[in-house]
Structure 1
Amino acid sequence: MLKKIAIILTFLLVSGCFVAQADVLKIRDDAPQNYVVKKGDTLWDISALFLNEPWLWPQLWQMNPQIDNPHLIYPGDTLTLTYDAQGRPRLVVNENVKRLSPVSRKTMKGGDAISTLPLSMIRPYLTFEQALTDEEIAALPYVLGSNANVKNSVNNHIIYVKGVLDAGASYGVYRKGKPYIDPETETVLGYETKLVATARAFRPGRAATDDTPIEAASLNVLSVKREIKQGDKVMPALEGQSLPAFFTMTKPAFDIEGLIIDTTSDLREFSKWDIVVLNRGALQELAPGHMLGIYRNSPLVIDGKDGPVYIEDGNKLQKALRNFGDNSIQLPREKVGELMVFKVSERTSFAIVTNTLQPVRVGDLIANL
């Protein structure tokens, strides 16, 4: 089943769903020409040296003919920044530079290998929303204002933030949105946290001491999805965005049941490639790459003396007695789709719908395949 899913995903996406790949990446002015991979490096760490928006790293790596799986780079490899005929930047392993230390390489197994899904395949469909608790949001640095003395800041503005940041680091500017409420317990699991802009800090700011007052951190706005407002929150750009290069698509080795509680779109029904929010997360041992089925309960039937009727078609007495006796029959639940978890927080998860048999809705069940 997983192998079939991977084949279907690859075929559909290769057929022409690469909107993001058409963009020409902007390389940082201080990007190195060459970089030697160190032990412990991640693709995100390396990409942050070259890109103002390092979460766009798949575009920097996916055009690399030498790295079918970007995980297969090793300490001692020298990466060189080059440009193709269309002027698009790419990183390649420089085979003319001798590696600093020999390391045995692992190779991917044949037909029995676990199905994987490259992030570059689904990145065009992903959003940067996060699910944070009220406490987590309250603890974040926040925007005080800008150099333009306006309430809403845009590109090329400098924004000032209350908090101590790292000079030279990239940050995301986020805005608290609607609560994610668990229908089963009626508790708030977290809050939608939407990315509104990206920025780079050039003054770190300073906390107050007995001798010095608070000094705001200063950031150059790099890109804006919507206008930045006073009070918007700031967090490191890679926080919550460090997704793996390849998702290992597996069925959970434990029983799991939950609900789709929201979607990042405002549609009532949604389908393949839409992003949904689940009321299960790390506390339930969900992990990126977990494949789950989407299910929906069939209607409740009351089998009365005049024959079976759906509950909504029953009379007042039948509806009142729906939970009594043997006349109420819950028809089986049926599978309506499949999804893959790609981002997990403590009590919620984000997943991408990979297949649908019917339109998917908020309130649909999720469970093992």
Structure 2
Amino acid sequence: MLKTITSSIAALLFCLTTSVSADILAIKPDAPKSYTVKQGDTLWDISGLYLQQPWLWPQLWKLNPQVENPHLIYPGDVLSLSYDQDGRPILSVNGNAIKVSPAAADGTATQGIRKLSPQARKSLKNTKAITTIPLMMIRPFLTYEQSLSAEQIDGLPYVLGADDHVKNASQGHILYVRGQLQQDAAYGIYRKGKAYIDPQTEEILGYETILVGTARAFRAGGAEVDQPASVAVLDVKQEIRQGDRLIPAADGQSLPAFFMMRKPEQPLSGTIIDTTSDLREFSSWDIVVLNRGQQDGLKAGYMFSISRQSPTVVDSSRGPVYMSDASKYQKLMGGLDGDRIEMPKEQIGELMVFKVAERTSFAIVTGTKKPIRVGDIIGDL
């Protein structure tokens, strides 16, 4: 039985022109004529085989905004690329073809486009459908990792002590918690980490919260001080200490396997302020923290370019000199003599936002031309 052709795959070849966006979905010269979807593939991988700019593949969804999730493709599906007599690309899945051509400026379908109809939302439950990006890379951040304000952290239930006289509890211990919990619910146990600081304003935007363990509540506790809640420690990543905070775990929540990759509705810029790795430089599929969040209008799925400021040059009487090469005395006296020339920023990669907090967000690097660093700038693609 033929599988339903998916809007996500048709979008690999779709060229959409509107008054707001001049983005063109350009087919790669070496795009394969035929490709068999493999276990472990993602829509991002497949898009990269066909498109110069893989992040543009979801634009076909604009033809039918009622469809919240596209249909799915599966390992074993065969994609075939061909062109019609007018040079328009045709993509077929398991022999069932769909012709892809531009839409009118008002977003209505034009001749040659198969307009989608609203259908029941599909999920990944009991399927092996491929996802947008590698979920294994972001699963811990979707389910546990947080960026919280000091006020949010201070308002959380916290560990008073254990059933043994230990300062560092581990698996098998019972913990007593000040605050009311939900009986039988699972909780992540967190420790307040470093501050996320805005490099421009030097404001604290939030705090890293480090997952140190998980637990399940078997006494809910009460509002009175002498009625602590009780939890059994299920797993530990680090030893649990008095004062560590509890947040309801995300057990049982479905992962957003399909992200609507798109440009922000309004121009946005910001800075990479941290990374989850301890490396000075990082690359594709590494996780970074941005100094922009919900209050700035950020949403999961937003795509940004990553740029780096080229070094400033002073055109001095002795010839061009990098500003950073000035001596301490020259910097104290105002720098080098000559014309100070600010060089342009150059794009070195792209990223996708996948989790948004109030003033910060987590993003995954989807492509690089050079290694990425903390301090690099995000902006429009």
Aligned partner of 2:135 among 91, 104, 120 = 120
Give how far 1:225 is off.
Answer: 0.9
Q: How far apart, CA to CA, are the structure 2 residues paired with 1:314 and 1:163?
A: 57
Counterpart of 2:160, as a letter, is L
Q: Is 2:271–2:290's contact at 8 Å kept on the other side of the alignment?
A: yes
Partner of 2:189: 173
Give how far 1:353 is off.
Answer: 1.1
Q: Is 1:259–1:365's contact at 8 Å kept on the other side of the alignment?
A: yes
Give how far 1:291 is off.
Answer: 0.8
Q: How far apart, CA to CA, are the structure 2 residues paired with 1:176 and 1:107?
A: 38
Aligned partner of 1:281 among 289, 293, 309 = 293
Partner of 2:275: 263
- Which SS does the other structure have where 2:348 is aligned? strand
Give how far 1:8 is off.
Answer: 4.7
Q: Is 1:252–1:286's contact at 8 Å kept on the other side of the alignment?
A: yes
Alignment of 1:36-47 (within 5 A): none
Partner of 2:241: 229
- Which SS does the other structure have where 1:136 is aligned? helix
- Which SS does the other structure have where 1:246 is aligned? coil
RMSD over aligned Cα atoms: 3.3
Give how far 1:148 is off.
Answer: 2.4
Q: Displaced runs of 4+ in structure 1, greater than 4 A?
A: 2-8, 124-127, 314-325
Q: Number of residues paired by the alignment?
A: 269
Give how far 1:145 is off.
Answer: 1.1
Q: Structure 1's 281 and 104: CA in aligned 2 closer, same or farther, altered over 3 A?
A: closer
- Which SS does the other structure have where 2:193 is aligned? strand
Say whether 1:305 aligns with 2:317: yes
- Which SS does the other structure have where 2:324 is aligned? helix
- Which SS does the other structure have where 1:270 is aligned? coil
Q: How far apart, CA to CA, are the structure 2 residues paired with 1:218 and 1:106?
A: 39
Say whether 1:141 aligns with 2:153: no
Q: How far apart, CA to CA, are the structure 2 residues paired with 1:156 and 1:116?
A: 36
Q: How far apart, CA to CA, are the structure 2 residues paired with 1:319 and 1:307?
A: 21
Say whether 1:204 aligns with 2:204: no
Counterpart of 1:367, as a letter, is G
Gaps of 5+ in 2: 1-10, 13-27, 29-40, 49-71, 76-117, 124-129
Q: How far apart, CA to CA, are the structure 2 residues paired with 1:368 and 1:236?
A: 35
Give how far 1:6 is off.
Answer: 6.5
Q: Structure 1's 125 and 107: CA in aligned 2 closer, same or farther, altered over 3 A?
A: closer
Q: Structure 1's 257 and 320: CA in aligned 2 closer, same or farther, altered over 3 A?
A: farther
Q: Is 1:202–1:219's contact at 8 Å kept on the other side of the alignment?
A: yes
Aligned partner of 2:361 among 319, 338, 349 = 349
Q: Structure 1's 357 and 207: CA in aligned 2 closer, same or farther, altered over 3 A?
A: same
Partner of 1:365: 377
Q: Structure 1's 181 and 324: CA in aligned 2 closer, same or farther, altered over 3 A?
A: farther
Deviation string, structure 1 residues 313-350 (Cα, Å, up to 9, x no partner): 3565588455998x111111111111111111111111
Counterpart of 1:130, as a letter, is Q
Deviation string, structure 1 residues 30-83 (Cα, Å, up to 9, x no partner): xxxxxxxxxxxxxxxxxxxxxxxxxxxxxxxx9x99xxxxxxxxxxxxxxxxxx
Query: Which moves more between the two structures, 253-262 or 297-306?
Result: 297-306
Q: How far apart, CA to CA, are the structure 1 residues paired with 2:179 and 2:283?
A: 41
- Which SS does the other structure have where 2:132 is aligned? strand
Partner of 1:90: none
Q: How far apart, CA to CA, are the structure 1 residues paired with 2:296 and 2:158?
A: 32
Q: How far apart, CA to CA, are the structure 2 residues paired with 1:142 and 1:336?
A: 43
Counterpart of 2:206, as a letter, is G
TM superposition score normalised by structure 2:
0.63
Q: Is 1:302–1:314's contact at 8 Å kept on the other side of the alignment?
A: no
Q: Structure 1's 263 and 104: CA in aligned 2 closer, same or farther, altered over 3 A?
A: closer
Counterpart of 2:137, as a letter, is I
Counterpart of 1:285, as a letter, is G
Q: How far apart, CA to CA, are the structure 1 residues paired with 2:372 and 2:140?
A: 17
Q: How far apart, CA to CA, are the structure 2 residues paired with 1:332 and 1:180?
A: 27
Give how far 1:274 is off.
Answer: 1.4
Aligned partner of 1:185 among 201, 204, 212 = 201
TM superposition score normalised by structure 1:
0.65
Q: How far apart, CA to CA, are the structure 2 residues paired with 1:124 and 1:227?
A: 22
Give how far 1:193 is off.
Answer: 0.5
Q: Structure 1's 263 and 319: CA in aligned 2 closer, same or farther, altered over 3 A?
A: same
Aligned partner of 1:157 among 166, 169, 173 = 173
Say whether 1:195 aligns with 2:207: no
Q: How far apart, CA to CA, are the structure 2 residues paired with 1:359 and 1:298?
A: 14
Q: Is 1:205–1:218's contact at 8 Å kept on the other side of the alignment?
A: yes
Identity %: 52
Q: How far apart, CA to CA, are the structure 1 residues paired with 2:43 and 2:333?
A: 49
- Which SS does the other structure have where 1:312 is aligned? helix
